[in-house]
């Protein structure tokens, strides 16, 4: 009996062992081949892209994952230098700017083609920009067009005739754009995907020009003008793009394919990177950053990012109407503590709204951590030692990161000003509703720049700025941003005007800047020409793969 | 039996109707809308978008047309993924879910029954204690702990299996199936051990047991 039993045990165990063994053999265990090493050989870049793209239509999309895919598939008149972000020729080979800075004439290259081989010319831009300004399309980035003459009026419906909008094809290869005011950052805007051209025949084949959610961006349908074309789009699995043979610069493209993986979970994406399934991951979990830093891992790239984390103060709330109170709140946030103890990923304490070195602009601000002076200000405002300070709430959208910062600030205000604030979290859409309806007292906010210019941060706080949402209004500030800055003669003069405006903003403090974001990227060392820049915008045109000899991935 | 099934199906109708109506009303009464965004959206644009998705109609009309669509099996367009329909999104995810469930069940049955049988063959010996302790561990170990542990060992340290994916890289279905299956395997192991022992104790086959010595193979 004993012998038979152990026989059975043996046979069961061996069955299990055999199954496991065959599984491992089938799965290719023992070989050191992975996505990265295979990709390096075949020219396939494996890109961790965060979440599933919500749309690949450049006139509808708004998010970062969408951005990364769209810039592979499409291209604007002007590109950006991947290091300096200076304008470089894209579809336009050159451009002339009129003396008064209001008329731009673009000379388009004659060998530009759509990915299906169709000719690509100036008329494509007129039609595409007309489409982008149709209200029914719901283009959230329509404001990127508003420096063009009558574009805003057309979008808002006060002008019905598109011919009055300042864009015109002078001939097949010459596009003229008239601006409302001189706009020194206009070339910057052209590399934003919201101003990319779209292929008219494809869009009309799948629905109306201003119809949202047609199938033109799907696998097998999408036609673009970029260095790559869409090969595959499997929901929640991958988006694959391959070289576009019709691209004007196709011979200089080194990558054959890019595979974009949507991975909702940042921790999973980091593991995929470590296991050699990805060449790149743009979402490093905050508590992993220290590990990479401590071993000086060359894969970790930390760079300043064109974005500011700040608190809005609703200046219509009675006790926040007094700018001394607002200043006192701003002066008692110890930003170093927040960046070093909570965020821990190289974030920069912010004492002004615009990130430093935005096209050579370094904001000046007298804001500093100064509890003594803050106490004084609060006392002058009628709340000595915080006595009688009304109950106040900090509103934030539900997220552990925002909560940690809010708790720290709550504690700092208690310690330094002896005031009690409460925390209130709301789901994203509810929070958006509260903030835009100005139904809050203090609200957490973030702003990521769309183009590299101080204007993108400062024009938010114009009296009727759609994203102001604080109720703050200063006519002199409006005059500086709307009248003085656009007509400045030199870049330096223009920056000086922004400096003055920003000082004004910080003195009144309708917003409390907290920190400047950083981009945290994990980049395999075999990825060459990955140039870090403040927009965290890769140039897939330039990237190539080269395995380091002797180093295993 | 048929009557019972029919009965149950008929009972489901009012339940589903209540659930659908409640979610419809809840979503409508929640603040914020599908088109609210971080960046300011002009009111004309919101209006144009609402018209495109029929959200400008009176609530009862929206409800009736929604209900009609649901009855026809059409869950409408996705508000988040522009251009996708809800049906399409479900169709993209369902096969993977079903496949994973099937593999996890196979893992659970193979490991569970084997471990249970091995344990029952010599109750209260090491051959019983070892698999049953393992089963206890399996029940106590949640999948969100087992998953990352497996990934760490087999994905990152040994580099035997991919750490993520489904049908992209050979072998990427193994760890999810094992992770999901193990918890159930533990239950099945305990059940099959209990079942085996019950059979031998209650003496369902006493005549055979008397005729010749008890052999495990007889049960199988």
B69 CA to chain A: closest CA distance, Å? 19
Distance, CA of A38 to CA of B106 (rounded, Å): 32
Q: Are residues A487 and A508 in the same domain?
A: yes
Pairing of strands A392-397, A421-426: parallel
Q: What is the pLDDT of residue B210?
A: 47
Q: What percent of chain B has pLDDT over 90?
A: 37
Q: Are residues B29 and B133 in the same domain?
A: no
Residue to test with chain B: of A2, A3, A8, A156, most B Cβ within 10 A: A8
Q: Are residues A504 and A359 in the same domain?
A: yes
Chain B residues closer than 8 Å to A276 by CB? 159
Per the structure, the count of domains in chain B is 2
Q: Where residue A552 falls among pLDDT bands split at 50, 70, 90?
A: very low
A145 CA to chain B: closest CA distance, Å? 14
Chain A residues closer than 8 Å to B35 by CB? 138
SS3 A397: strand
Domain boundary residue, one of B74, B101, B129: B74
State whether A268 and B165 contact (CB < 8 Å): no
Q: Where residue B211 falls among pLDDT bands split at 50, 70, 90?
A: very low
Q: What is the pLDDT of residue B198?
A: 79
Q: Residue A41: pLDDT above 70?
A: yes
**Which chain A residue has the Cα nearest residue B212?**
A1
Query: Are residues A167 and A91 in contact, defined by beta-carbon separation less than 8 angstroms?
Result: no
A11 CA to chain B: closest CA distance, Å? 11
State whether B88 and A62 contact (CB < 8 Å): no
Q: Residues, chain B, total?
A: 220
Distance, CA of B196 to CA of B219 (rounded, Å): 8
Q: Are residues B207 and B118 in the same domain?
A: yes
Instruction: Find the mean pLDDT for residues B122-129.
Output: 87
Range of the domain at A13: 1-72+226-299+524-553
Q: Are residues A401 and A263 in the same domain?
A: no
Q: Where residue A80 falls among pLDDT bands split at 50, 70, 90?
A: very high
Q: Are residues B179 and B104 in the same domain?
A: yes
Q: Where residue A283 falls among pLDDT bands split at 50, 70, 90?
A: confident
Q: Are residues B193 and B135 in the same domain?
A: yes
Q: Are residues A131 and A34 in the same domain?
A: no
Domain boundary residue, one of B74, B102, B136: B74
Q: What are phi and psi of A519, to 5 degrees?
A: -95, 130
Residue A457 is assigned to a structural domain of this protein: yes
Would residue A480 be called left, alpha or beta, if left means φ above 0 and alpha means ψ between -120 and 50 degrees?
alpha
Look up the CATH number of the domain holding residue A269.
Answer: 3.40.190.10
Q: Tokens standing for B70?
A: 């649901």
Per the structure, the count of domains in chain A is 3
Q: Are residues A464 and A317 in the same domain?
A: yes
Please give the mean pLDDT across all residues of chain B.
85
Q: Are residues A553 and A460 in the same domain?
A: no
Per-residue b/e over A107-131, b at no fewer than 16 CB within 10 Å? bbbeebbbbeebebbbebbbbbbeb
Q: Are residues B121 and B12 in the same domain?
A: no
Is pLDDT larger for residue A232 or for residue B219?
Answer: A232
Q: Are residues B132 and B202 in the same domain?
A: yes
Q: What is the pLDDT of residue A207?
A: 93
Is pLDDT larger for residue A41 or for residue B135?
Answer: A41
Q: Are residues B169 and B194 in the same domain?
A: yes
Q: What is the pLDDT of residue B30?
A: 82
Residue A209 is assigned to a structural domain of this protein: no
Please give the mean pLDDT across all residues of chain A.
91
Q: Where residue B180 falls among pLDDT bands split at 50, 70, 90?
A: very high
Q: Are residues A250 and A171 in the same domain?
A: no
Q: What is the pLDDT of residue B40?
A: 79
Instruction: Find the mean pLDDT for residues A73-98.
Output: 94
State whether B161 and A29 contact (CB < 8 Å): yes
Q: Are residues A244 and A188 in the same domain?
A: no
Least confident of A404-413, A467-476, A499-508, B190-199: B190-199
Q: Where residue A18 falls among pLDDT bands split at 50, 70, 90?
A: low
Q: Are residues B104 and B198 in the same domain?
A: yes
B182: Cα separation from own chain's centroid:
13
Q: What is the pLDDT of residue A21?
A: 53
Short-list A528, A525, A38, A66, CA closest to A254: A528
Query: Are residues A327 and A489 in contact, defined by beta-carbon separation less than 8 angstroms?
Result: no
Q: Are residues B102 and B141 in the same domain?
A: yes
Q: Where residue B143 falls among pLDDT bands split at 50, 70, 90?
A: confident
Q: Are residues A260 and A326 in the same domain?
A: no
Question: Tokens 């209006």 identify what position?
Answer: B47
Q: Are residues A344 and A485 in the same domain?
A: yes
Q: What is the pLDDT of residue B142?
A: 87
Q: Where residue A3 falls among pLDDT bands split at 50, 70, 90?
A: very low
Q: What is the pLDDT of residue A553?
A: 41
Residue A177 is assigned to a structural domain of this protein: yes
ipTM passes above 0.95? no
Q: What is the pLDDT of residue B54?
A: 85
Per-residue pLDDT tens for A91-139?
999 999 999 999 999 999 999 999 999 999 999 999 999 999 998 898 9
Q: Residue A318: pLDDT above 60?
A: yes
Residue B113 is assigned to a structural domain of this protein: yes
* DSSP structure class, residue A92: E
Which among A19, A263, A430 has CB closest to B164? A263
Distance, CA of B115 to CA of B128 (rounded, Å): 9
State whether B42 and A8 contact (CB < 8 Å): no
Q: What percent helix, strand, coil does chain A show, rounded to 5? A: 35, 20, 40
Torsion sign across C-alpha atoms A437, A440, A446, A449:
positive
Residue A507 is assigned to a structural domain of this protein: yes
Q: Are residues B60 and B110 in the same domain?
A: no
Q: Residue A163: pLDDT above 50?
A: yes
Distance, CA of A438 to CA of A441 (rounded, Å): 8
Q: Are residues A389 and A487 in the same domain?
A: yes
Q: Are residues A85 and A168 in the same domain?
A: yes
Question: Tokens 């509260």 identify what position?
Answer: A434
Distance, CA of B206 to CA of B184 (rounded, Å): 32
Q: Tokens standing for B89?
A: 């999104």
Please tell me whether the overall predicted TM-score, pTM, comes out greater than 0.95 for this model. no
Range of the domain at B42: 2-74
Q: Are residues B67 and B102 in the same domain?
A: no
Instruction: Find the mean pLDDT for residues B41-70.
Output: 87
Query: Are residues A143 and A172 in contact, defined by beta-carbon separation less than 8 angstroms?
Result: no
SS3 A45: strand
Residue B139 is assigned to a structural domain of this protein: yes
Query: Are residues A76 and A188 in contact, defined by beta-carbon separation less than 8 angstroms?
Result: no
Would residue A536 be called left, alpha or beta, if left means φ above 0 and alpha means ψ between -120 and 50 degrees?
left
Residue A146 is assigned to a structural domain of this protein: yes
Q: Residue A316: pLDDT above 80?
A: yes
Domain boundary residue, one of B22, B45, B74: B74
Look up the CATH number of the domain holding residue A343.
Answer: 3.10.105.10
Instruction: Find the mean pLDDT for residues B45-58.
Output: 85
Instruction: Find the mean pLDDT for residues A177-200.
Output: 94
Q: What is the pLDDT of residue A9?
A: 54
Instruction: Find the mean pLDDT for residues B189-206.
Output: 76
Q: Residue A444: pLDDT above 70?
A: yes
User: Residue A421 forms beta bridges with which residues?
Assistant: A392
Short-list B91, B94, B75, CA closest to B24: B75
Q: What is the pLDDT of residue A8?
A: 52
Q: What percent helix, strand, coil does chain B show, rounded to 5? A: 70, 0, 30
Q: Which of A6-10, A289-293, A502-506 has the highest mean pLDDT?
A: A502-506
Q: Residue A246: pLDDT above 90?
A: yes
Residue A392 CB neighbour total at 10 angstroms: 19
Query: Are residues B152 and A274 in contact, defined by beta-carbon separation less than 8 angstroms?
Result: no
Q: Residue A65: pLDDT above 80?
A: yes
Q: What is the pLDDT of residue B212?
A: 47
Distance, CA of A544 to CA of A243 (rounded, Å): 13
Residue B19 is assigned to a structural domain of this protein: yes
């Amino acid at each position: 009996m004993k012998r038979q039993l152990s026989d059975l045990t043996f046979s069961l165990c061996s069955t299990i062992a055999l199954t496991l063994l065959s599984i491992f053999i089938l799965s290719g265990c023992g070989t050191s081949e992975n996505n990265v090493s295979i990709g390096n050989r075949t020219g396939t870049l494996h890109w961790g892209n965060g979440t599933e793209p919500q749309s690949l239509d450049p006139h509808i999309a708004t998010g970062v994952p969408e951005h990364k895919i769209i810039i592979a598939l499409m291209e604007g008149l002007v590109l950006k230098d991947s290091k300096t972000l200076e304008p470089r020729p894209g579809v336009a080979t050159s451009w002339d700017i009129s003396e008064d800075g209001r008329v731009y004439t673009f000379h388009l290259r004659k060998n530009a083609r759509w990915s299906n081989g169709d000719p690509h010319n100036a008329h494509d831009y007129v039609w595409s920009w007309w489409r982008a300004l149709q209200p029914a399309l719901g283009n959230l980035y329509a404001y990127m067009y508003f420096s063009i003459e009558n574009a805003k009026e057309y979008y808002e419906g006060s002008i019905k005739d598109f011919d009055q909008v300042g864009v015109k094809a002078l001939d097949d290869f010459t596009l003229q754009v008239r601006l409302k005011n001189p706009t020194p950052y206009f070339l910057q805007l052209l590399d934003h995907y919201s101003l990319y051209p779209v292929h008219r025949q494809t869009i009309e084949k799948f629905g109306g020009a201003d119809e949202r959610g047609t199938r033109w961006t799907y696998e097998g349908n999408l036609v673009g003008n970029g260095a790559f074309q869409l090969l595959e789009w499997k929901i929640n699995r991958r988006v694959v793009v391959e070289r576009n043979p019709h691209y004007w610069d196709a011979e200089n493209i080194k990558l054959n394919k890019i595979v974009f993986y949507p991975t909702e979970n940042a921790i999973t994406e980091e593991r995929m990177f470590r296991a050699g399934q990805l060449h790149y991951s743009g979402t490093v979990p905050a508590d992993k950053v220290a590990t990479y830093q401590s071993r000086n891992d060359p894969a970790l790239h930390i760079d300043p990012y064109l974005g500011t984390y700040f608190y809005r103060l609703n200046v219509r709330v009675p006790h926040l109407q007094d700018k001394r109170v607002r200043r006192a709140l701003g002066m008692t946030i110890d930003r170093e503590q927040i960046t070093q103890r909570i965020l821990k990923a190289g974030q920069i304490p912010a004492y002004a709204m615009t990130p430093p070195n935005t096209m050579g602009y370094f904001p000046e601000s007298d804001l500093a951590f100064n509890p003594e002076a803050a106490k004084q200000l609060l006392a002058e405002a009628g709340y000595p030692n915080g006595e009688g300070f009304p109950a106040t709430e900090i509103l934030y959208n539900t997220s552990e990161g925002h909560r940690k910062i809010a708790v720290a600030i709550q504690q700092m205000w208690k310690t330094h000003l002896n005031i009690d604030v409460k925390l209130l979290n709301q789901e994203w859409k509810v929070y958006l509703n509260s903030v835009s309806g100005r139904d809050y007292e203090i609200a957490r906010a973030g702003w990521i720049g769309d183009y590299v210019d101080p204007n993108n941060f400062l024009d938010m706080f114009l009296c009727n700025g759609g994203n102001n949402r604080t109720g703050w209004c200063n006519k002199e500030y409006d005059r500086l941003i709307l009248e003085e800055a656009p007509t400045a003669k030199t870049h330096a003069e223009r920056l000086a005007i922004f400096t003055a405006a920003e000082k004004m903003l910080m003195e009144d403090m309708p917003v409390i800047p907290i920190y400047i974001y950083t981009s945290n990227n994990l980049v395999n060392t075999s990825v060459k020409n990955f140039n870090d820049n403040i927009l965290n915008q890769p140039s897939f045109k330039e990237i190539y793969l080269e395995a380091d000899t002797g180093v295993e991935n | 039996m048929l009557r019972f099934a029919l009965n149950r199906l008929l009972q489901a109708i009012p339940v589903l109707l209540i659930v659908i109506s409640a979610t419809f009303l809840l979503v409508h009464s929640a603040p914020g809308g599908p088109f609210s965004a971080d960046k300011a959206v002009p009111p004309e644009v919101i209006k144009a978008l609402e018209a495109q998705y029929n959200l400008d109609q009176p609530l009862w009309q929206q409800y009736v047309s929604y209900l009609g669509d649901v009855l026809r099996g059409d869950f409408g367009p996705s508000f988040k993924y522009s251009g996708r329909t809800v049906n399409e999104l479900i169709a993209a995810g369902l096969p993977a879910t079903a496949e994973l469930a099937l593999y996890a069940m196979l893992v659970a049955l193979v490991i569970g029954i084997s471990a249970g049988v091995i344990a029952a063959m010599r109750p209260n010996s090491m051959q019983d204690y070892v698999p049953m302790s393992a089963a206890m561990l399996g029940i106590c170990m949640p999948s969100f702990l087992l998953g990352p542990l497996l990934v760490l060992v087999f994905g990152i340290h040994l580099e035997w299996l991919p750490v993520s994916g489904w049908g992209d890289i050979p072998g990427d279905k193994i760890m999810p199936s094992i992770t999901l299956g193990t918890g159930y395997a533990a239950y099945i192991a305990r059940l099959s051990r209990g079942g085996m022992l019950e059979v031998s104790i209650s003496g369902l086959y006493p005549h055979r047991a008397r005729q010749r010595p008890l052999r495990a193979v007889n049960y199988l």
